[in-house]
Structure 1
Amino acid sequence: MDFGASMFFTDYSMTPAALGRALEERGFESVWAPEHSHIPVSRKSPWPGGGELPKRYYDCMDPFVSLTAAAAATTKLKLGTGVCLVNQRDPIQTAKLVASLDQLSGGRFLFGIGVGWNQDEMENHGTAFETRAKLTRERIEAMKEIWTKSKAEYHGEFVNFDPIMAWPKPVQKPHPPILVGGAFPQGARRALRYGNGWIPIAGRAPLHEVLERFRQMAAEAGRDPAGVPISTFGAPEDPDEIKRFRDLGMSRTVVSLPSEKEDTILPILDRWAELIRRC
């Protein structure tokens, strides 16, 4: 099982370059950057984490910029969006961002995506809350066309363009892995339909209870469960829980770090490095 770390990069957090180097030195496999373009003052949707929305959600930097800085400071650390809000982004421009980062990093990008929860935020981007999942799927399908064809076109309900030519193409073939975030069963179903992995959040669902159902859904969808690996986010600093994730067959577990400087983060990473060695 691989280990990653996620941080909302802000102007008061550890920099992506510094965190990337620290993670790579301690044996982590990946670094992850979440995304929120902005947070509206109004609130139609409660935060899924419960309670008040943390300040870091308002302050986070663009994930592609953050991950580019981490890529330049590392040599083997994988770089993931955790998660990119595809239904708030233009698919042609996002396809270029993904391919560019995959090129600049030498094929280290992991495209974590989600349909989002903040209705006000996505409505400011012109996205209807009720159809956000279908819009996300169409944009992913369109990006796959752009990444894999010299002359790409896509015609859907929400995404529609005649043949275009767009470079660069990603280093990874046919494209970087698309890891779909979301709870069971909706998130798992989307991952099986158009993804290369599933990202559930630890603590929000009893994973041991849904794994057998997930494997059954995979079989019904004609997918090999081994081809849709599971990455758990929000892993607790608990060796027994981490070993349980490993025994359940998780391919990756990702710790969520606070948006703090080195004096706070490095001791946390040192404890995790010891836990990684023990597990």
Structure 2
Amino acid sequence: MRIGFSVPQFGPFADPDRTSAMCAALEALGCHSLWAADRLLAPVVPAEGYPGGTMPLRYGTHLDPLLALGVAAAATERVRLGSSTLNALWQPPLVLARALTTLDLISHGRLDVGIGLGWMREEYEATGVPWQGRGARLEETLDVLDAVWRSERVVHTGPLWTIAESTVLPKPVQRPGPPILLGGFTPHALERVGRRADGWLAASMPLPYLDGLWAVATEAAEKAGRDPAVLRRVFRVNPEVTAVEADAAETHRRGTVRQICDHLKVMCSAETDEVLVDLQLTTDSPEEYLDLAAAFMAELA
């Protein structure tokens, strides 16, 4: 099992100097990775509601995920750096490819690209990107990233974007490109993971739900002639840490540190499985964040 934490970037942690110092401290704890999230705005009353309850107020204060990863890259030497989850459709894929390539170069090949579709219509409206057709837009975005990273002469003609035959340099340190992990919790999203991604940005969840979704990805990988065993899984948890034990049915998201970690250990059935513990909604200060991170490290390691 690999152990990762969130890059501090929301609410009271939305300060680049604080982010830098905390990333260095998290690396010193011995974790494997650090992951930045993506939030563009926080509507006072989200039209679709918020998955799992009420949107945290601190999501209205945030650092840009790619720039936050640049800060993390400069502050660390060893840990992998990823996005969980980057809403990749808010910018043209060629622009995105340039930014991700630069991050891979800055980090000397430590970047993992985690991409999702998001869930909030207001963010799409604010960026002028259509809500409908997101799946097709993501497919073509992946096509462009692949073309930019793999080809000496980049050319692309698709329904949304056209790139004339061009030189696009430099290339990423990682060849043929940084690993791409995709988010999502629908059968169609898992089919896409199996068909063309390097892994799945998942979440801590009850095991029967996990088994059903993962079966879709493995079947899709086999149909595409790919080895399902090489697919990575990163299980995010935004824990509600309690002082007393919670009900066993809730430990995928709520309970003592030991309860939450015990559930994560059961979920991680392969050596390449990874947990991502996001403590930004659970703590209010760097000291509290790092103390709790150390407690999770002790239980998980």
Equivalent residue number for residue 297 of structure 2: 273
TM-score, with length taken from structure 2: 0.84
Between 96-105 and 188-197, the greater mean CA deviation after superposition = 188-197
Q: Distance in 2 between matches of 1:30 and 1:75?
A: 11
Instruction: Decide whether the 8 Å contact of 1:3 with 1:252 is kept in 2.
Output: yes
Equivalent residue number for residue 222 of structure 2: 219
Residue 156 of structure 1 deviates from its aligned partner by 1.2
Residue 242 of structure 1 deviates from its aligned partner by 2.3
CA-to-partner distance for each residue in 1:194-240, whole Å, 9 max, x for gaps? 21111122237721343344323322232211222111111754232
Equivalent residue number for residue 90 of structure 1: 92
Instruction: Decide whether the 8 Å contact of 1:78 with 1:108 is kept in 2.
Output: yes
Between 198-207 and 167-176, the greater mean CA deviation after superposition = 198-207
Amino acid of the structure 2 residue aligned with 1:20: C
TM-score, with length taken from structure 1: 0.91
- Matched residues, percent identical? 28
Q: Distance in 1 between matches of 2:261 and 2:31?
A: 16
Residue 40 of structure 1 deviates from its aligned partner by 4.5
CA change 1:212–1:34 in 2 (3 A) is: same
Of residues 165, 168, 177, the one that matches 1:166 is 168
Residue 158 of structure 1 deviates from its aligned partner by 1.4
Equivalent residue number for residue 247 of structure 2: none
Instruction: Decide whether the 8 Å contact of 1:182 with 1:201 is kept in 2.
Output: no
Of residues 174, 197, 200, the one that matches 1:198 is 200
2:69 is paired with a residue whose SS is helix
Alignment of 1:262 onto 2:280: no
CA change 1:164–1:55 in 2 (3 A) is: farther
Q: Distance in 2 between matches of 1:191 and 1:211?
A: 10
Instruction: Decide whether the 8 Å contact of 1:8 with 1:57 is kept in 2.
Output: no
Alignment of 1:1-279 (within 5 A): 1-7=1-7, 9-10=9-10, 12-13=12-13, 15-40=18-43, 43-48=46-51, 50-203=52-205, 206-234=209-237, 236=253, 237=257, 238-247=260-269, 251-258=273-280, 260-277=284-301
Larger RCO, structures 1/2 (Cα 8 Å, 6+ apart): 1
CA-to-partner distance for each residue in 1:145-201, whole Å, 9 max, x for gaps? 112223212111112221222222100000000000111422211212321111122
RMSD: 2.1
Equivalent residue number for residue 248 of structure 2: none
Q: Distance in 2 between matches of 1:199 and 1:111?
A: 10
Residue 84 of structure 1 deviates from its aligned partner by 0.9
Q: Distance in 2 between matches of 1:171 and 1:243?
A: 32
CA change 1:41–1:273 in 2 (3 A) is: closer
Residue 42 of structure 1 deviates from its aligned partner by 6.1
Task: Name structure 2 gaps, 5 residues minimum.
Answer: 238-251
Instruction: Decide whether the 8 Å contact of 1:184 with 1:210 is kept in 2.
Output: yes
What is the total number of aligned residue pairs between the two structures?
Answer: 276
Instruction: Decide whether the 8 Å contact of 1:8 with 1:34 is kept in 2.
Output: no
